[in-house]
Amino acid sequence: MKGVLFFAGTFLRWPVQKPKEFLFLHSYLVVLYGITYFFKLFGLSISNLIFTIGIFAPLGILIYNGLPLDCLDYKSVIKRELS
């Protein structure tokens, strides 16, 4: 339960602590939805593929750039955050 509460608190503090990242993420999602909508509006069936690639691309980039494998272990995240 501590882990869930820790990540919930981190999730709620994130927009206030890093507003630039928060706005960038949401603007990326709005643009992705817009591109998907226009592809679907013109009747192209590739819109679902565009959306799926757009959602998974940032995760792939993070993993490629060295996302720590213990990023969901709250004890190691607390140690990293406090240092």
Q: What does the pLDDT read at residue 71?
A: 67
Give the percent of the chain with pLDDT over 90. Answer: 30
Identify the weakest region by mean pLDDT among 28-37, 59-68, 72-81. Answer: 72-81
Task: Report how far residue 77's alpha carbon sits from residue 69's, in angstroms, rounded to the nearest whole number.
Answer: 11
Model confidence at 24, pLDDT cuts 50, 70, 90, reads very high
Q: What is the mean pLDDT of the chain?
A: 84
d(CA 11, CA 67): 18
Contacts for 10-15: CB closer than 8 Å, 24+ residues apart: 10/77, 10/81
Q: For the residues 54-83, what does the mean pLDDT come to?
A: 80
Which residue in the block uniquely carries the two structure tokens 């709250």? 74
pTM of this prediction exceeds 0.75: no
